[in-house]
Structure 1
C-alpha cells in the first residue's frame, strides 16, 4: 500500500492544480476556463454557448471549481489500513477503477465506439454488484435478496443501453421503461447504503455521502427526465449538476477506502459532524440557487435549436399553458437559415411582451417599429398571424379562424373542402364510359403553376422528361408539352384549380370536338405499364381524388387527347382521353 505521505502529496498537488487552472482560465479565456473546471474539451461548451460564456456561466464555473476541489480532496484520501480478504481486495480495486473512470478514463474511452463504453461499464458494475453481495455483511437474507434484485434492475438498465448502441432489440422502450430502470439504479444505491449501515464498517461520513448521492438523483431525474432542463436549459445548470455529481464519486471512493474490517474509523466529533452537515447542505442547495436568475438576466427556456422546438404543433393541439413556449420556439427559430424574429439576448419575458405588442399593432409599419425597438435582425418582415396566434388567439382568430384548429380539425376541414370542390365537377362526356375513368378537382399553385401532368411515375427518366415537357409547354398556343412518358398540360385562364376528367379506352373514341374551345392529340409512352395524374398530398398540388392507371394495355405507346374549355363564369374544364396508338404525330383537332 502506498504511504500516507504520497496520498497527501497527490491531494495537495491535484487540488491546487484545479484551483490554479480555474484562476488561469479567467485570464486565458473561456476555452481554458471550461477545460480547467469541467476536465473535458470545450467542444460541448461551444455547442451550447457559441457566442461565449455569459456572466452567469462564468460564475457557475468558478463556484464549480471550488466545489470540485473540495470533493476531490475527499476522494483522494488514503485507504484505511487493515487486512483484506481476496474478495474485498478485488472490490476495492474495482471501486477505485470506477472512480478513475469517472474522473479521467471516461474521455479516452469516449473516443472509442459508444458500444465499447457501454460494455465496459456493464462489465465493471456487474463485477462490483456481485462483490457487494459477497463482501457487505447484510445481516438479513431478505435485505440481501432485495439488494440482488435492485442490482439486477440497475444492470438491466446498462444492458439496455448496450443493446441500443449495438442496434439490437432492447429489453424495453418508452419513457415508462426508462424511468423504471433509472429508479431501479436509485434503489440499488439506497439499499447499498442501508447495507453499509448494518455492516458497521463504514463511517457516518461515508453513509452521508451515499445518501447525498441519492439526493443528486432526486435533482437529476425530475430535471432531466420530466422537464429536459439540464440538457436544454442554461449552461450554468449543467455545470453545477456536473460538480454536484462528484458526490457519488466521493461515496464510491470512501466505500473502497473503509473496506478493512479492523481499524474502523472513529466517529467524528459533534463539531466535525456539524461541519459535514453544513457542507452537505451547501452542495445539495447550490444547484438550486444557480437556477434562480435575477429578473434582468435573460431567461432562455427555448432557443432556435432546442430539441423541443422541432415539433410544430397546431394551436388547437396545445393546452393554454403550452402556447407561450410554442411562440418562443417560433420567435427564436432559424429554420431554413433565416434570422430569428428576436435575438437570444432577450429573455423569455421580454419576447412575450414584444409579441403581445405585435398582436396589437395596426399594420406592418407598426410591427416593424416594435421589432426594431426589440433589436430584431429582420424588423421589416413583421410578424405572421400563424406565429402570433399562440399569444393572442382572440385577436388573430377574429380574422383567421382556421388558425385556431387542431390538427384533426384542420384535416377534417381540408377533407371537407376537397370533397366540396370535387362535388362541383361533373363528367363532361357521361354517355361514353371509359374502361377506367375519374372526375375530380385539380388543385394548382396560386402563382406560377405550369399545369398538371399525365405521366409514367415509375419511368427512370421521369425527372428529365418533366424538365423537357416544361421547356416545350409554351412552344404552342395549346400549351401542351410532350416529352416521352410525360405530357404537361397547361391552363388557359389564370386559375388556382380546374375540373379534370380522365378516361381510358381500348380503341380510339370519337373525336367529339363540339362544345370545346380546343382539342389536341399528342403521343405518350408508358415504359412501366402505368400512366396517371398525380394525386394531391398535404399542402401540395394534385387531383382531389385518386386517379386510375390509364395505360390499360400495359407497356407501350398511347395517344392522349386533351379537351379544354372555359365557361361563362371563367371556370376551366379539362377532359383527357387516353387510348393505345403508335402514331407520334401531334394533331390539333380544334381550333
Structure 2
C-alpha cells in the first residue's frame, strides 16, 4: 500500500493537468520574466545547485515526480528479497529516497532562509505566484520519499532505533545546508547596486547605517570615489571591522590619518582615506579642515600670480585691434591650446622654434616650463598688424585654418580667452611673442609673472611659418 501510494502521489499532478487540458480542449502556457538585483545568499546557492545538478534532474528516472525511480526501487526491493539479500534492497530504496530529498528539499530551505533574513529577497526568486507554487510542489514531492522510507522500515523493536538514526542523519544534512548558507551570508560581498551607492540601485543590503554603506561604497564603487581595489573582495563584515579599527586608531591620534601609526596601518592604500571619512566623523572633520587650508593656500597662490601679471604694462597696438584681452593662464604640460569648433584634440605639427605649432583647426603655444603660468594678452585684428620684436625674446608666426570661425585659447584649468578669429571662417595668421622663457627654462623657481605672451591673430592666406626673432638654444654642458 505504501509503495502504491508513493507512485500515485508522484504521478497525480501530471495526471491532473493532462485531464484538465483534455477537458478544456486547449493547452494554455504562461511565461514569466523578472529582473532582480542584489545578492541573496539562498537564491544564489539555489541557482548554483540547479546549474550544477540540472543534467542529473533531467534524467528520465526523475520524470513525473520521480515515479520511474520509485518503481525501479520497488522492483529492486522485491528482487533482493527473492534472492535472499534484503539488506541490499533497503540500501537501494534509501538511496532512491535520498536522491528525491536532495532534489526537492534545498529550494524550500533556502527560500525560507532568504525570506527570514531579508523579506526583499522574495523578489529575487521571482513572481510570488510562481515561487509559491514551486516551493509547494517541492514540499509535495517529499511525501513520496517519506512513504518509500516507511515502506522499508524494519519490523520489530529495532524500528525506533532505525528511525532515530534516520532522523539524526536528516537533521545533520539540514544543519550542514543551513550552516553553509549562514557562512555565505556572513561572508557576503555586497556590490554597489545592492548598496545603492549611486542612488538608483535596489538597496537590498539591510542592517547597515549610512556611514557604513558609505564606507563600503567608497571601497567597492569606483564611480563613487576612487575605490580601493586591494580591499574590494573582502566580505562586508570583515571590511567594516577593518574600517572601525582604522577609525579607532585615527581617533586616538586626533583624527589625523597622516599620524605614523595610522599611516603605517593604511600602507600604500592612499585612496582608503576617502572611504574612511564616511565611516569616521573625526577623520572627516580633520580632512575637511585640511582641505580648507589647501584651498586657501591655492587661492592665495593664484591671487599672487594674477597680481604679478596685472602689474605688467598693457600692450599698446600700433593699429587698432578689434579685441584685446588679458588673462593669467595655467598649464600642466607646458602648453596652452586652441581648437576650431569640432576639431578639439586635433593633431598639430612640429613646434616652430619650440614656441608654437599649428594644424587643421588646432594650435599649441608654449606657455610655461611644465607646470606654471603665463601672463597672456590676446589681440584680434581684421588686417595685418606691424611686426614688433623689440623687448621680446622670440617672435614666431604660423598659419591657422578655421571652418567655424573659432580660435579660442584654453589653458590647463579650462579657462579660455574670447574668440580671436574676428573675420569668421577662413585662413588666419597667428603671431606669438614671448619674454621670460629663457629664465623659466634655466631656473627651477622663477618669480610670478615672469613669462609673458602676446598672441596676435589676423586674416592671412600664407601657410609658411616665419621666425621674426629667436634666441640661440642653451648649450648643454658635457
Query: How does the TM-score come out when normalised to structure 2?
Result: 0.51
> What are the residue-to-residue correspondences of 1:232-311 with 2, within 5 Å?
238=123, 246=131, 298=186, 302-306=190-194, 308-310=196-198
Is 2:321 aligned against 1:434?
A: yes
Q: Which residue in 2 is equivalent to 1:210?
A: none
Q: Indicate if the aligned counterparts of 1:518 and 1:565 stay in contact, CA closer than 8 A.
A: yes
> What are the residue-to-residue correspondences of 1:367-382 with 2, within 5 Å?
370=265, 380-382=268-270
Q: What SS is found at the alignment partner of 2:447?
A: coil
Is 2:288 aligned against 1:394?
A: no
Q: 2:430 aligns with which of 560, 565, 577?
A: 560
Q: Which residue in 2 is equivalent to 1:505?
A: 381
Q: Which residue in 2 is equivalent to 1:356?
A: 247
Q: Indicate if the aligned counterparts of 1:516 and 1:565 stay in contact, CA closer than 8 A.
A: yes
Q: What SS is found at the alignment partner of 2:196?
A: helix
Q: 1:345 to 1:35 in 2, by over 3 A?
A: farther
Q: Which residue in 2 is equivalent to 1:542?
A: 414
Question: Could you tell me how far 1:302 is from its partner in structure 2?
Answer: 4.4
Question: Could you tell me how far 1:505 is from its partner in structure 2?
Answer: 0.8
Give the whole-Å Cα distance in 1 for the aligned partners of 2:47 and 2:383: 87
Q: Indicate if the aligned counterparts of 1:60 and 1:239 stay in contact, CA closer than 8 A.
A: no
Is 2:447 aligned against 1:575?
A: no
Q: What SS is found at the alignment partner of 2:197?
A: helix
Query: How does the TM-score come out when normalised to structure 1?
Result: 0.42
Question: Could you tell me how far 1:552 is from its partner in structure 2?
Answer: 1.4
Question: Could you tell me how far 1:12 is from its partner in structure 2?
Answer: 9.6
Q: 1:9 to 1:244 in 2, by over 3 A?
A: closer
Q: 1:586 to 1:349 in 2, by over 3 A?
A: closer
Give the whole-Å Cα distance in 2 for the aligned partners of 1:363 and 1:485: 48
Q: 1:428 to 1:341 in 2, by over 3 A?
A: farther
Q: 1:327 to 1:6 in 2, by over 3 A?
A: closer
Question: Could you tell me how far 1:488 is from its partner in structure 2?
Answer: 0.7
How many pairs are equivalent?
Answer: 319
Q: Which residue in 2 is equivalent to 1:453?
A: 337
Give the whole-Å Cα distance in 2 for the aligned partners of 1:481 and 1:425: 25
Question: Could you tell me how far 1:482 is from its partner in structure 2?
Answer: 2.2
Question: Could you tell me how far 1:357 is from its partner in structure 2?
Answer: 5.5
Q: Indicate if the aligned counterparts of 1:305 and 1:333 stay in contact, CA closer than 8 A.
A: no
Q: 1:30 to 1:418 in 2, by over 3 A?
A: farther
Give the whole-Å Cα distance in 2 for the aligned partners of 1:26 and 1:505: 75
Q: What SS is found at the alignment partner of 1:390?
A: helix
Q: Indicate if the aligned counterparts of 1:442 and 1:542 stay in contact, CA closer than 8 A.
A: no
Give the whole-Å Cα distance in 1 for the aligned partners of 2:264 and 2:50: 36
Is 2:397 aligned against 1:529?
A: no
Give the whole-Å Cα distance in 1 for the aligned partners of 2:280 and 2:112: 47
Q: CA RMSD in A?
A: 5.3
Q: Indicate if the aligned counterparts of 1:527 and 1:555 stay in contact, CA closer than 8 A.
A: yes
Q: 1:27 to 1:391 in 2, by over 3 A?
A: closer
Give the whole-Å Cα distance in 1 for the aligned partners of 2:273 and 2:108: 45
Give the whole-Å Cα distance in 2 for the aligned partners of 1:391 and 1:65: 33
Higher percent of residues as helix: 1
Give the whole-Å Cα distance in 2 for the aligned partners of 1:365 and 1:351: 18
Q: Indicate if the aligned counterparts of 1:385 and 1:396 stay in contact, CA closer than 8 A.
A: no
Question: Could you tell me how far 1:556 is from its partner in structure 2?
Answer: 2.1
Gaps of 5+ in 1: 15-21, 38-57, 68-215, 224-228, 231-235, 251-289, 313-320, 372-378
Q: 1:548 to 1:504 in 2, by over 3 A?
A: same
Give the whole-Å Cα distance in 1 for the aligned partners of 2:424 and 2:15: 85
Q: What SS is found at the alignment partner of 2:240?
A: helix
Q: 1:506 to 1:305 in 2, by over 3 A?
A: same
Q: Indicate if the aligned counterparts of 1:437 and 1:548 stay in contact, CA closer than 8 A.
A: no
Q: 1:353 to 1:531 in 2, by over 3 A?
A: same
Question: Could you tell me how far 1:29 is from its partner in structure 2?
Answer: 3.6
**Which is higher, the Rg of structure 1 or of structure 2?**
2
Is 2:220 aligned against 1:332?
A: yes
Q: 1:390 to 1:413 in 2, by over 3 A?
A: farther
Q: What SS is found at the alignment partner of 1:514?
A: coil
Q: 1:297 to 1:584 in 2, by over 3 A?
A: closer
Give the whole-Å Cα distance in 2 for the aligned partners of 1:413 and 1:309: 33
Give the whole-Å Cα distance in 1 for the aligned partners of 2:106 and 2:307: 66
Q: Indicate if the aligned counterparts of 2:227 and 2:271 stay in contact, CA closer than 8 A.
A: no
Structure showing greater relative contact order (alpha-carbon pairs closer than 8 Å, 6 or more residues apart): 2
Question: Could you tell me how far 1:424 is from its partner in structure 2?
Answer: 6.0
Q: Indicate if the aligned counterparts of 1:452 and 1:542 stay in contact, CA closer than 8 A.
A: no
User: Once the two structures are superposed, what CA deviation does each residue of 1:438-484 show, in whole Å capped at 9, x if it has no partner?
Assistant: 22232323xxx14111231234xx64xx3333xx13xx543322223
Q: Indicate if the aligned counterparts of 2:408 and 2:420 stay in contact, CA closer than 8 A.
A: yes
Is 2:235 aligned against 1:345?
A: yes
Q: What SS is found at the alignment partner of 1:520?
A: strand
> What are the residue-to-residue correspondences of 1:57-206 with 2, within 5 Å?
61-64=107-110
Q: Indicate if the aligned counterparts of 1:451 and 1:489 stay in contact, CA closer than 8 A.
A: yes
Q: Which residue in 2 is equivalent to 1:159?
A: none
Q: Indicate if the aligned counterparts of 1:440 and 1:501 stay in contact, CA closer than 8 A.
A: yes
